[in-house]
Amino acid sequence: MSKKKEIAFWIVIGVLSVIITGFTLFYFDLANGPLICFILELNVIGAAITVRILLRHKKFVIRMIPTLAFVVSTAIILPLTKPAVEHKSAAYYSNPVPTEVLSLENGDIRGVLSKDKNVQIYAGIPYAKAPVGDLRWKEPQPVENWEGVRDCSYFAPRSMQPAGNAITNTLVDIYAAKGWHPDYMMHPEQDMSEDSLYLNIWRPNNDKTNLPILVFIHGGSLTTGSSAYEDYNGEQMAKQGVIMITITYRLGVFGYFAHEELTNESPNHTTGNYGLLDQIQALKWVKANAHCFGGDASRVTIAGESAGSSSVSALCTSPLTTGLFKYAIGESSSLVVKQAPHTFRKLEKAKETGEKIMKEFKCSSIEELRKVPASKLVNTKYSNSEMTLDGYALTKHPYKVYEDHENNELALLNGYNVMEADAFVVPHFLFSPTNKNNIKSRLINEFDEETGNKLYDLYKDKIDKDAFNTLNEIMSVYWFIHPHHSWSNMALAADTSVYRYQFTKENHYHSTYHAGEMIYAYGNVEKCKENWKYDDMDIKLSRQMIRYWSNFVKYGVPHYDPESSDLLPTWPCYSGAEGTTTIMELGVCVGPMKDKYEAVYPIIDEYIEKQLQNS
């Protein structure tokens, strides 16, 4: 080999080594798979490069051996980098201390204590029979009694949902954080099952009784999610003197599939709202068992975020939930608007989708479809991400229920974040970002020509400065903020006390994106292990927000706290009067703020009226 070729060889080897190693470092951090796979791949790279250098003077066929070995080894290792699936522990430390036995209406359970021994945790408690076999797509049935002491130290599996992609999820986190923070730790996924109707309880480790109860409903577009996410771990809420409960419910095709045959076989002539009926069954279970775990059945608050908040607004209007809760908390979604932009559909449309699914799986009857394995059915190509007016769980449109002053909650705390729509808009236009030249056409496509032009004119100055973020703001208002504006006004008109907020605190992670406030509201900022995400200001705000949330659960007023001498900034009751400062800002500043979107609401109202007239 000549000197020039030798120099070229070392340059090529160096560049390829850097590229391959860099790609490996990036890929394995994204994949969240077992650490052993990462170590093996680094060894394969090192061995391949070393052998290739040693064989640099050999024939071409010989020189290709390490390259081929590298390709084959990598092809074997990469498929093994998927995250492991685990039965998730309810404790966040090794060898957790068990609780004493707790007797419920259906049997005895034993959970675990928190690390500081101040909170009792009971996970994976069944509140209904497993909705499998003949019980698939039927109203939830009361849970049967069990013998012996049930181990409740692990969360039950999450409901059936399409398998997530770890690489995509990590890329989303990188976008949200505006930076890459590799950890090379394995991040296992929670196990999944059609048998998933369970709930989890966090309660103070003391002898107090008649404590208020908060029942939280997770989000995920009614198609994904878990009751075991760390962002709404209930440990800190329990330390505030509130029993926190998170529930799992049927999702997607298992929770919101609709079909005429199901209507006919149902004793209540219902279909399409099985996930919602699960939530109602969980509330019935809480009412029946509250005295067993020290709770007060007359002081229940329901809460939810995203699709969980849409569910809360539905539960506030269901005739089946009368007397099951007192207050409601809704975060970042509502159905209490004349035409909901998501999470709600007409029964006829739901049944049309049901027929398409029957054809997709080549089934001529519900009996046949019930025999399709859950692992196959979950991958249907048709979305089932909306509730419906089924005549049983929901007998009137939620907006109409409030209009008739028939809603169930006595007080409502609800609100939204600044950048609600970014996580939905940005991926849609990933390869064609919004700019000054295309934003008008995109507004017209999303709405109609008249509405698009009105919104363009209203936001003209902002569009000239930053069209990309302006479209995201407009969609945030349409999809999330306007529905809360409507919910607040309708609840106020129905003589319900209303407390409305906007979360504005930026940070180094999910910031004010959709769901960004949850880790603050439920007191889990300080539990976050990645210290680059949150700082002292975030911890301070989280401590304030969990007090607001827990005070509301206790008293129906977020700033009222007779048990503490440390006064919170007053959160004024929402008045609905235009131009008044009755929205609470939760951010660097905590206090009343002016609603920034008052000029947008009338345009959206006009658009909705036109849509209703046309339909």
Report the catalytic residues: 306
Cβ distance 485 to 601 under 8 Å?
yes
DSSP-assigned letter for residue 131: -
SS3 394: coil
DSSP calls for 75-123: HHHGGGGSPPEE--BS-SSSSPPBPPPEEETTEEEE-EE-TTS-EEEEE
Q: In what order do the strands lie in the sheet with 411-417?
A: 112-113, 119-126, 198-204, 243-247, 211-217, 295-305, 327-331, 411-417, 497-503, 583-586, 590-593
Pairing of strands 387-388, 107-110: unpaired
How far apart CA 494 and CA 496 sit, in angstroms, is: 6
Cβ distance 399 to 486 under 8 Å?
yes
Pairing of strands 590-593, 583-586: antiparallel
Q: Measuring CA to CA, which residue among 484, 478, 480, 477 is closest to residue 576? A: 484
Question: What is the four-CA torsion angle of 441, 442, 443, 449, rounded to 10 degrees?
Answer: 40
Radius of gyration of the chain (CA): 27
Q: Measuring CA to CA, which residue among 195, 486, 453 is closest to residue 344? A: 486
**Other residues' Cβ atoms within 10 Å of the Cβ of residue 401:** 24
How far apart CA 533 and CA 546 sit, in angstroms, is: 19
How far apart CA 82 and CA 166 sit, in angstroms, is: 8
How far apart CA 519 and CA 540 sit, in angstroms, is: 13
How far apart CA 340 and CA 478 sit, in angstroms, is: 10
DSSP-assigned letter for residue 155: P
Structure tokens, 107 = 């049997």
How far apart CA 353 and CA 379 sit, in angstroms, is: 14
**Other residues' Cβ atoms within 10 Å of the Cβ of residue 527:** 15
The label of the residue with tokens 């509140």 reads 127
Structure tokens, 44 = 């394969």
